[in-house]
Amino acid sequence: MKALVFSRKPARFAAAMVAGALRPGRGARVGPLDLRDIDPPEAPTGADGWVRVRPRLSGICGSDLATIDGKASRYFEPIVSFPFVPGHEVVGELDDGRRVALVPVLTCATRGIDPPCHMCRGDRINHCERIAYGHLEPGLQSGFCESTGGGWSVAMMAHESQLVAVPDDLSDEAAVLIEPMACAVHAARMVTDSEVAVIGSGALGLLTIAALRQLDNPVGPLIATAKHPEQRRWAKELGADVVCQPDELERQVRSAMSSFMLDNGQLTCGIDTVVDCVGSEDSLAQALRCVSPGGDVLAVGMPGVTTLDLTPLWHRETSLRGCYAYERDDFDRAIDLIRDLDLGRLVSATYPLSRYEDAIAHAATAGARGAVKIAFDLRDERERNHL
Amino acid sequence: MPRPGFVLDVDRSTPPLVFHHGEGFRLEKLPAGRSRVLYPGEPLAPLDDVDGAIRHALDNPLGDSPPLHALLKPGMKLTICFDDISLPLPPMRKPDVRQRVIEAVLDQAAAAGVDDVHVIAALALHRRMTEDELRHAVGDRVYDAFAPSGLLYNHDAEDPDNLAFLGTTPHGEEVEINKRAAESDLLVYVNINLVSMDGGHKSTATGLASYRSLRHHHNVRTMLESRSFMDRHRSELHSSNWRMGKVLEDAGVKIFQIETTLNNNTFGSSGPMSMLQKREWEWSVRDRASFAAMKAGLDRMPLKARRAVFQGWKAPYGVTSVQAGEVEAVHEATTENVFRQQLVEVEGQTDVLTMGLPYVCPYNVNSVMNPILVACTGLGYFFNMYRGMPLVREGGVVIMSHPTTWEFHPVHHPSYIDFFEQVLAETTDPLEIESRFEKQYAEDEWYRHLYRNSYAYHGVHPFYMWYWICHGLSHAGKVIVVGGETRAVRRLGFGAASTLQDALEMAEDVVGRDPTITHVHNPPLVMADVK
């Protein structure tokens, strides 16, 4: 079957790093990602509850792009298994025709580990303590695990615990956003303070803004940074009170919080919570400059290896907290929000697998090109219906 | 005998005209047969004996005022206030006329045995003057005699302990000024009346005031009701200041006003920029060569270096008059002297008004002309340089030439940066800006701190710049900036054109084909008396 496969090829990985540094998304051309014919994945031997999912749409996420451009941290090495088929933002259909969205996090249930770990028992599936063990090859999620396959293919395997039924009134475009929206809901639920700044208005940033605004306990003034005009428009529409350029954030927060500003740009007061949906060295440093003493920086965008001056964190008793994935009930809220806000509109373009280089280049420069979410469209793949 | 200003009808023989363009120039051809150029008058003959004229003015005051020496008594409190860095433009060569006047006043004070003297830069909400700037204005002798002992300083409009509330006008305008000035036995105000807007009661009621007081006339309504603020008798800005002047008088503040006027000798009759105050068709071969060389040099110079060259220029102005005595009588005479130099009669309005904006305005001496100041210089000051009616018809187009870079002086203009990034990103409507944002900026502790302790304009100051343009904004159908940085021009809400020809074509969409055009050849300064 047709699939995009990411292999462990150090030379090509190095080439992707160079190419990706020169032009975002260029790692797809020279790196270890290839469109290939592979054997369809199969359920782990003797395991129950596995079904075949034929992806309909599969999104391209920031973590996918980081992997393709060689920017992902080596931290992931023990918790992914090669070769893998990327794609974890998936809406697909089962053999009986039912549409499902994928919860890609791989848990004790999917790994055949019984009894499940403490975290899985408590439904905190994103913190599974057996992440590289059990009858699956290592993989923190489907889309990074050799055993399961991924959404950038015409078929993958999923455990029934990973499936969320897609309501009939939700289009595929809307449903492909369920997984990233669940991430955003999870992030928004971690915000307890009233004043929030969101760094970055890519897809994850925009969904986080929407989630923050729509949560039952709404936040106060919400300041967002957005680099590009279309991002600014979306950020406003989805609920940001103030949208500014990335380099204007310190002054915006200073102004809103009546803070003083030191010569190095560090605010003396600051905003209660900064949600960093970029995850770069610059964005994290900016978050530390803008957050109030005793405030929270929430790292929602996936950071890599970063050099960061943590003196302000120490001096101002700031908490820097990661925010990965979701818990299962975040999906229910995500579906409601997507429906209520008609967020299917955020899917800006879809590509067939054969044009994966164009798709990845588009996703890597989405903001500049006025796009938000780019996805692969598998619905017309000829092979898909002959499996 | 200097020739007065005049209006040139552009024909085919008219050479390209010099447009000031920030720290540079453009040469532009205007369409023949439907364009006219308003030229400033040549510099009036300066006073031969400035010091003698100052002494004469002090001894022969105008209006109901005794001579200065009769007002000076031993043991009295004397405060001398003077116009700040915003005047004149560009700064004048040494000795500054303020220095000459202050020295003359101090000589008389010393002779009368007055030893409680303070000297205060009346800067309202402008930035504090640096030591160099103060030395330039008052001279080394005065600076060294007063500054080290803390007797020469900048007015602080945010120092509650040093402000005095003096009452309210019948219109409900609160009058609060510098306490030392208000409680002195005599307040001597030393002014440079560069344009007709300056001086009169505005010197004290604005220059020494606090935000509490200033907000009553520095607002959108006042500006919209001033047609124009360069014409005192039709200026609500001045009416308000005059009402406040009455409150000052009623509160017992005794003011001895000294006003001076300068001629149009901005660029010199000889020297590297002298051709800028000549009419283009009268340029000699040498003038042409000098201009070409200067322009070529400037075009190749980095912006920082160009800025240093221009900001270093000190104008060889001549002093044309000195008046002293009672505020209103003095100011009437002063205004006549300003008009004598600057006023030019013009017949009717045109569809389009063009102007080349120079590198400096009142708020960027030794600083950066940021986009807000560009808007204020063009649509605030230059547009309002009229008496009668604007040079451009209602619904017409104003075209301004300036590089308009997205650049701000971080020390001088911190609240401008935020205003540009935060307020103008939301709206350019002056009324909405005033109601939604002014209070927050005016009361921001950080801006207050920078105004008082650094060299920053007050937090509210960019708002005043925007209010200054509101008459022009509401009058013009479109505003276009030629040669500006597009994103900065758009943030201002104006149209951006790369050439004057493009701008004129854009203007035709608003005012129709073959519009009539007036170009204001300014600076040197010219004010239109539009009939």
d(CA A197, CA A20): 29
Give domain A183-322's CATH architecture. 3-Layer(aba) Sandwich (3.40)
Assess whether pLDDT exceeds 80 at residue B415.
yes
Q: Is the pLDDT of residue A387 over 80?
A: no
- The pLDDT of residue B244 is above 70: yes
- Residue corresponding to tokens 């943030």: B491
Using DSSP, state whether A247 is helix, strand or coil: helix
Interface contact flag, B449 A260, Cβ < 8 Å = yes
pLDDT at A93: 96
The dihedral built from the CA positions of residue B207, B213, B219 and B222, taken in this order, carries a sign that is negative
Side-chain half-sphere of A313: how many Cα atoms within 13 Å?
15
Instruction: Provide the pLDDT for residue A304.
Output: 86
A216 — pLDDT class (breaks 50, 70, 90): low
A175: helix, strand or coil: helix
The predicted pLDDT at position B313 comes to: 96
**Which of A194, A203, A254 has the alpha carbon at shortest distance from A222?**
A194
Return all residues near B515 (Cβ < 8 A) that are at least 6 apart. B34, B350, B351, B352, B396, B397, B504, B507, B508
Cα–Cα distance measured from residue B293 to residue B288, given in angstroms and rounded to the nearest whole number: 8
pLDDT digits over B170-197, tens only? 999 999 999 999 999 999 999 999 999 9
Burial of A226 (C-beta count, 10 Å sphere; 0-12/13-18/19+): buried
Phi, psi of A62 (to 5 degrees): -60, -35
* Strand locations in B84-236 (E): 116-122, 152-154, 163-168, 174-178, 186-192
Using a CB-CB cut-off of 8 Å, the residues of chain B touching A267 are: none
Which fold, B50-262?
Answer: Rossmann fold (3.40.50)
Give the closest-approach CA distance of A257 to chain B in angstroms: 10
Task: Note the pLDDT tens digit of each residue in A343-368.
Answer: 999 999 999 999 999 999 999 999 99
Angle at B208 between CA B204 and CA B211, to 5 degrees: 120
C-alpha B421/C-alpha B492 separation (Å) is 11
By Cβ distance, the residue of B422, B425, B449 closest to A255 is: B422
Instruction: List, in sequence order, the alpha helices (H) in B126-166.
Output: 131-146
Q: Using DSSP bridges, classify how beta strands A2-6 and A33-37 pair: parallel, antiparallel or unpaired.
A: antiparallel
**Number of other CB atoms surrounding residue B425 within 10 Å:** 17
Using alpha carbons, list the distances in angstroms from residue B93 to B30, B316, B362.
34, 5, 17
Quote the CA–CA distance of B157 and B452 in Å, as a whole number: 8
Report the relative pairing of strands A50-59 and A89-94 from DSSP bridges: antiparallel
Among the ranges given (A27-31, B211-215, B246-250), the one the predictor scored with the smallest mean pLDDT: A27-31
Is there a contact between B418 and A259 if contact means CB atoms under 8 Å apart? no
Alpha carbon separation from A26 to A17, A64, A344, A362 (Å, rounded): 9, 13, 27, 10
Q: Domain extents for chain B?
A: 6-42+342-530, 50-262
Query: Is residue A382 very low, low, confident or very high in pLDDT (cuts 50, 70, 90)?
Result: confident
Residue in A107, A230, A102 with CA at minimum distance from that of residue A163: A102
Contact criterion met (CB < 8 Å) for A242 and B422:
yes
Burial A181-212 (b: 16+ CB within 10 A, else e): bbbbbbbbbebeeebbbbbbbbbbbbbbbbbb
Residue A267 in this model has a pLDDT that exceeds 90: yes
Instruction: Decide if B444 and A244 are in contact by the 8 Å CB cutoff.
Output: no
Q: Which CATH class is domain B6-42+342-530?
A: alpha beta
- Burial label for B29, CB within 10 Å (0-12, 13-18, 19+), is middle
| Interchain contact, A254 vs B446, CB within 8 Å | yes
What DSSP string runs through A97-130? S-EEEE--B--HHHHT-SSPPHHHHTT-GGG-TT
| Residue B284 CB contacts under 8 Å (≥ 6 apart), including other chains | none
Whether B440 and A255 lie within 8 Å, measured CB to CB: yes
Task: Record the tokens describing residue A66, joined without a space.
Answer: 């980081």
pLDDT in the model for residue A292: 96
Please, what is the angle between helix A178-190 and helix A330-341, to 10°?
110
Q: How far apart are CA A230 and CA A139, in angstroms?
A: 35
Q: Say if the Cβ atoms of B421 and A251 lie within 8 Å.
A: yes
Structure confidence by residue, pLDDT tens digits, A150-205: 999 999 999 999 999 999 999 999 999 999 999 999 999 999 878 999 999 999 99
**Tokens coding A53:** 């999912």
8 A C-beta contact, residue A103 and residue A179: yes
pLDDT at A218: 61
Half-sphere exposure of B299 (CA within 13 A, CB side): 9
DSSP string, A308-322: ---HHHHHTT-EEEE
Closest to A204 measured CA to CA, from A173, A231, A174? A231
Distance from the Cα of A209 to chain B's closest Cα (Å) equals: 19
**Pick from B303, B520, B506, B16: nearest CA to B498:** B506
* Orientation angle between helical segments B430-442 and B461-468, nearest 10 degrees: 160
C-alpha span between B288 and B245 (Å, rounded): 50
Higher pLDDT, A108 or A221: A108
- Closest CB to A261 among B421, B425, B446: B446
Phi, psi of B369 (to 5 degrees): -85, 90
Is B401 in a helix, a strand, or coil? strand
- CA B53/CA B47 separation, integer angstroms: 8
What percent of chain B has pLDDT above 90?
99
Which DSSP state fits B4? P
Tell me the β-bridge partners of B167. B175
Strand partners, B497: B482
**Banded model confidence at residue A65, pLDDT cuts 50, 70, 90:** very high
Instruction: Name the residue facing B445 among A244, A251, A258 (closest C-beta).
Output: A258
Contact (CB<8Å) A260/B425: no
For chain B, list residues whose CB is within 8 angstroms of any CB belonging to chain A: 417-418, 421-422, 425, 440, 444-446, 449
Given a cut of 80, is residue B37 above it in pLDDT?
yes
- DSSP letter (8 states) at residue A242: E
Assess contact for A378 and A358: CB atoms under 8 A: no
For residue B133, the number of C-alpha atoms closer than 13 Å in the C-beta half-sphere is: 23
Locus of tokens 């980095």 = B302
Indicate yes or no: CB of A255 within 8 angstroms of CB of B445.
no
pLDDT in the model for residue A341: 97
pLDDT tens-digit profile of A296-338?
A: 999 999 998 899 999 999 999 999 999 999 998 999 999 999 9
* Mean pLDDT (whole number) for B376-388: 97
pLDDT of residue A46: 84
For B441, which residue in chain A has the nearest alpha carbon?
A255
Q: What is the pLDDT of residues B394-405, one digit of tens each?
A: 999 999 999 999
Give contacts of A226 with chain B, Cβ < 8 Å.
Answer: none
Please report where in the chains the tokens 């007002």 appear, as a residue: B71
Question: What spatial distance separates the first Cα and last Cα of chain B, rounded to whole Å?
Answer: 26
**What is the spatial distance between Cα B319 and Cα B52, in angstroms, rounded to a whole number?**
12
Instruction: Please give, rounded to a whole number of angstroms, the shortest distance from the CA of B439 to a CA of chain A.
Output: 12
**In Å, how far is B505's CA from the nearest CA of chain A?**
28
Mean pLDDT value across residues B53-74: 98
Closest CA of chain A from B247, distance in Å: 35
The minimal CB distance from B421 to the residues A248, A258, A259 is found for A248
- For residue A381, name the pLDDT band (cuts at 50, 70, 90): confident
A215 has a pLDDT exceeding 90 = no
- Is 3.90.180.10 the CATH classification of the domain at A2-166+342-386? yes
DSSP calls for B479-519: EEEET--HHHHHHTT-EEESSHHHHHHHHHHHH-SS--EEE
Nearest to A276 by CA among A317, A323, A337, A239: A323
| Fold match between domain B6-42+342-530 and domain B50-262 | no
- Runs of H (alpha helix) within B301-387: 303-311, 327-342, 371-375
Q: Is A252–B421 a contact, with Cβ atoms under 8 angstroms apart?
A: yes
Residue B365 has pLDDT above 90, yes or no: yes
Average pLDDT value over all residues in chain B: 97
The CA distance from B317 to B191, in Å, is 15
Residues A252, B422: C-beta atoms closer than 8 Å: yes
* Chain A interface mutation, best of B408, B427, B440, B446, highest count of A Cβ atoms under 10 Å: B446
Q: What is the per-residue burial (b if ≥16 Cβ within 10 Å, else e) of A30-53?
A: bbbbbeeeeeebebbeebeebbbb
Give the separation between CA A228 and CA A246, rounded to whole angstroms: 10
The residue ranges of every structural domain in chain A are 2-166+342-386, 183-322
Report the 10 Å Cβ neighbour count for A270.
28
φ and ψ of A116, to 5 deg = -70, 160
Prediction ipTM score: 0.80
Backbone angles phi, psi at B38, to 5 degrees: -100, 110
Token output for B431:
């009324």
